[in-house]
C-alpha cells in the first residue's frame, strides 16, 4: 500500500493521533531505552586517580542537543554536511571535571566509526531535540526488520544496507535513512512531530507483530552463541522470554536454536526457538539478527563431548571450536538427533524439546497425470513453504505475442490487470521430466512465462522433484538451478535449502 491521505487524516484528527503528535512535539529522553541514551566509560589507569570516580556516564541526547541547539542551518544539505564533516569526522570531545573542578577531555565520541551506529538512538534523539526541522530520531535499534517492513508497505525507498565490515559507511547510514524520511515528510507535508507519530505510532499498526506463539514447524537447527556477559540473560530466561540475539539471516521463524555458552564453560545450555526470520541490522554491532523465545534449559552438552562424538567431531564447526560469527552454524537433522541422544543419556526428557518433522515417505497415492502431481505433491509442498491458496493463481491468462493466450500453472504475487500482468514467481508443473527433451522444452516454456511476467524466481516441478531458477542478470539459465527430489524435500535439510529460496517470506512478504 501507499500513504493514504484519507486514512492518515482520520488518524491525525483522532484523540489518539493528537496525543501522539503532542508527545513528539515535546519529546523527552524516556522515548528511548536507558541503555541507548547513556554512554558509560571507564577511565584508564593513568588518569583515574584525578577524578572522584573511575566510571563516568554521559547523557547522549542532552550532550548532542546542547552542542547542536545553537547551530543554524539553511537546509537539510547543510545539516547533513555538518553531521558528516564535523561530528563524524572530528568526533565529539567528552569532558568532565576532575577533583579540583577543572574540566578535561577524557575521551572522544566517534573515535571509532562504530560509535555512530552503536549509539545511534541517543545521538539521533539529541539531534532531533536540537534541530527537529532537519533530523528525526532513530529508535529501531534491534528492530530493523520492522523498519524494512514500514518502508516496503509505504513505498519509502530504503538506502542500500552497508556490509558488516564497512564500518565507515555504517557510521553514515543514519544520514541516508534520515534523508529518506525527510523526503517522505516533505512529499506528504508532515511536520516533524507528525512524521515521528507516523513512524512510531501509525505505521507499526500495519506491520507484523512480534509473536512467539503459534510458531511454524522448524525447518532447521542452528547453534547460537553467548559469552559470560550473556549468561545471566539465558540463565534467568523463561519460556515466555523474548529477546534479541545475533544470528544467521537464513534463520526462519520457528527454527530450533541451541544456545552455546563460550565462557566460563563451553557447553550447550538451552534450546530456544526463532520467533522472527533472521535479518540484517546495520545499526547492530554483529550486523545479523534474530528474535528468540521459548527457552528450555537442558542437560548440558559440553564441547569435549561434541569433540569425542563420532559424528559431531567430524563437523567443521566443531573442529574449528565454533570460532567465527555468532549464530552462523547450521546443524543437520542427524547432528541434532545426536545431541539429543547425549542429553537423553544424562536424563533429559526429550518430549519437552522441539523436533524437526521428518517424513521419509512420499504420499501413498497413484500419480496418473499432471493434476495428481499438483494435488498430492506440489500444493502440499507449497503449504509447507508458508503459502495458502489465496497466494497463487492457477492457469493465469497471459497474452504472449499476437493475441496468443497462455496459462502459467501457478503465478504468485500476481497482478492480473490487463497490460500490466506480472508475478513475483511462476511455477510450471509437469507429470514427469525424466527425458532430457521434456526437461528442455519445459524450461523454455516456463522461462517465457517468467520473463513475460517479470518474475524474480522460476520453478519447475514434476514427479522427479523441484527445480528452482533464480533470475540472474535479467534472465534464467539452465545451469543455475537448485534441484531437490521429493525424498530430499522430506528431509529437513533439503527442505530448508528450498525454503530459503522460495519460502513465502522470501517471495511475497
pLDDT for residue 324? 61
What is the number of alpha carbons within 13 Å of residue 86 lying toward its C-beta?
10
pLDDT for residue 195? 98
In angstroms, the CA 461 to CA 432 distance is 8
pLDDT for residue 89? 87
pTM: 0.76
| pLDDT lower than 70: segments of the chain | 1, 324-328, 358-364, 400-405
Domains of the chain as residue ranges with CATH? 5-206 (no CATH), 221-352 (3.10.590.10), 370-507 (3.90.1570)
How far, in Å, are 60, 273, 277, 282, 496 from residue 288 at the CA level? 25, 17, 11, 8, 19
pLDDT for residue 272? 97
pLDDT for residue 250? 83
In angstroms, the CA 84 to CA 217 distance is 46
Q: Is the dihedral of CA 376, 379, 381, 384 positive or negative?
A: negative
CB 443 within 8 A of CB 464: no
Neighbouring-strand partners of residue 104: 96
pLDDT for residue 348? 96
How far, in Å, are 89, 250, 389, 507 from residue 214 at the CA level? 48, 20, 20, 22
Three-state SS for 259? strand
Give me 4's grid cell. Answer: 493514504
Question: What average pLDDT is seen over the chain?
Answer: 90
CB 86 within 8 A of CB 73: no
Q: How wide is the angle at C-alpha 319 spanned by C-alphas 318 and 323, nearest 5°?
A: 70
Pick the closest to residue 61 from 120, 144, 6 (CA basis). 120
Give me 344's grid cell. Answer: 537423553
pLDDT for residue 400? 67
pLDDT for residue 99? 86
pLDDT for residue 2? 81
Cβ count within 10 A of residue 133:
13
Max CA distance (Å), the chain: 92
Amino acid at each position: 500500500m501507499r500513504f493514504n491521505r484519507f486514512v492518515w487524516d482520520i488518524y491525525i484528527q483522532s484523540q489518539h493521533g493528537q496525543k501522539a503528535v503532542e508527545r513528539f512535539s515535546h519529546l523527552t529522553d524516556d522515548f528511548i531505552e536507558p541503555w541507548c541514551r547513556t554512554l558509560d566509560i571507564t577511565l584508564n589507569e593513568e588518569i583515574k586517580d584525578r577524578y572522584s570516580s573511575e566510571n563516568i556516564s554521559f547523557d547522549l541526547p542532552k550532550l548532542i542537543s546542547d552542542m547542536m541547539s545553537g547551530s543554524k542551518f539553511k537546509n537539510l544539505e547543510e545539516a547533513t554536511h555538518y553531521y558528516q564533516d564535523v561530528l563524524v569526522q572530528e568526533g565529539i570531545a567528552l569532558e568532565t571535571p576532575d577533583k579540583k573542578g577543572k574540566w578535561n577531555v577524557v575521551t572522544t565520541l566517534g573515535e571509532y566509526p562504530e560509535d555512530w551506529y552503536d549509539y545511534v538512538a541517543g545521538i539521533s534523539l539529541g539531534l532531533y531535540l536540537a534541530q527537529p526541522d532537519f533530523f528525526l530520531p532513530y529508535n529501531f535499534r534491534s528492530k530493523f526488520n520492522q523498519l524494512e517492513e514500514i518502508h516496503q508497505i509505504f513505498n519509502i525507498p530504503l538506502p542500500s544496507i552497508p556490509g558488516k565490515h564497512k564500518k565507515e559507511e555504517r557510521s553514515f547510514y543514519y544520514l541516508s535513512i534520515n534523508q529518506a524520511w525527510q523526503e517522505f515528510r516533505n512529499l506528504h507535508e508532515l511536520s516533524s512531530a507528525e512524521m515521528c507519530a507516523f513512524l512510531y505510532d501509525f505505521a507499526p499498526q500495519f506491520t507484523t507483530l512480534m509473536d512467539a506463539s503459534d510458531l511454524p514447524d522448524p525447518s532447521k537447527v542452528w547453534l547460537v552463541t553467548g559469552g559470560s556477559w550473556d549468561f545471566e540473560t539465558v540463565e534467568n530466561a523463561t519460556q515466555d522470554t523474548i529477546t534479541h540475539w545475533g544470528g544467521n539471516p537464513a534463520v526462519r521463524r520457528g527454527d530450533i536454536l541451541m544456545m552455546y555458552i563460550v565462557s566460563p564453560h563451553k557447553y550447550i545450555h538451552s534450546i530456544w526457538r526463532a520467533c522472527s526470520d533472521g535479518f540484517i541490522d546495520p545499526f547492530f554491532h554483529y550486523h545479523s539478527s534474530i528474535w528468540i523465545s521459548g527457552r528450555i534449559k537442558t542437560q548440558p552438552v559440553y564441547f569435549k563431548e561434541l569433540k569425542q562424538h563420532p559424528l559431531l567431531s567430524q563437523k567443521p564447526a566443531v573442529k574449528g571450536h565454533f570460532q567465527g560469527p555468532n549464530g552462523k552454524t547450521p546443524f543437520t537433522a542427524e547432528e541434532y538427533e545426536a545431541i539429543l541422544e547425549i542429553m537423553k543419556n544424562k536424563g533429559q526428557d526429550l518430549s519437552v524439546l522441539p523436533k524437526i518433522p521428518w517424513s521419509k515417505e512420499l504420499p501413498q497415492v497413484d500419480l496418473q497425470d499432471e493434476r495428481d502431481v499438483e494435488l498430492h505433491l506440489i500444493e502440499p509442498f507449497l503449504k509447507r513453504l508458508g503459502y495458502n491458496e489465496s497466494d497463487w493463481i492457477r492457469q493465469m491468462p497471459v497474452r504472449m505475442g499476437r493475441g496468443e493466450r497462455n496459462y502459467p500453472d501457478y503465478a504468485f504475487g500476481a497482478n492480473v490487470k490487463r497490460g500490466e500482468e506480472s508475478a513475483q514467481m511462476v511455477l510450471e508443473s509437469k507429470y514427469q521430466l525424466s527425458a532430457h527433451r521434456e526437461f528442455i522444452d519445459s524450461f523454455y516454456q516456463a522461462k517465457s512465462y517468467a520473463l513475460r511476467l517479470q518474475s524474480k524466481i522460476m520453478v519447475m516441478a514434476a514427479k522427479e522433484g523441484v527445480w528452482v531458477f533464480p533470475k540472474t542478470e535479467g534472465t534464467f539459465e539452465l545451469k543455475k538451478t537448485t534441484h531437490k527430489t521429493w525424498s530430499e524435500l522430506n528431509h529437513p535439510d533439503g527442505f530448508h535449502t528450498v525454503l530459503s529460496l522460495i519460502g513465502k517470506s522470501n517471495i511475497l512478504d
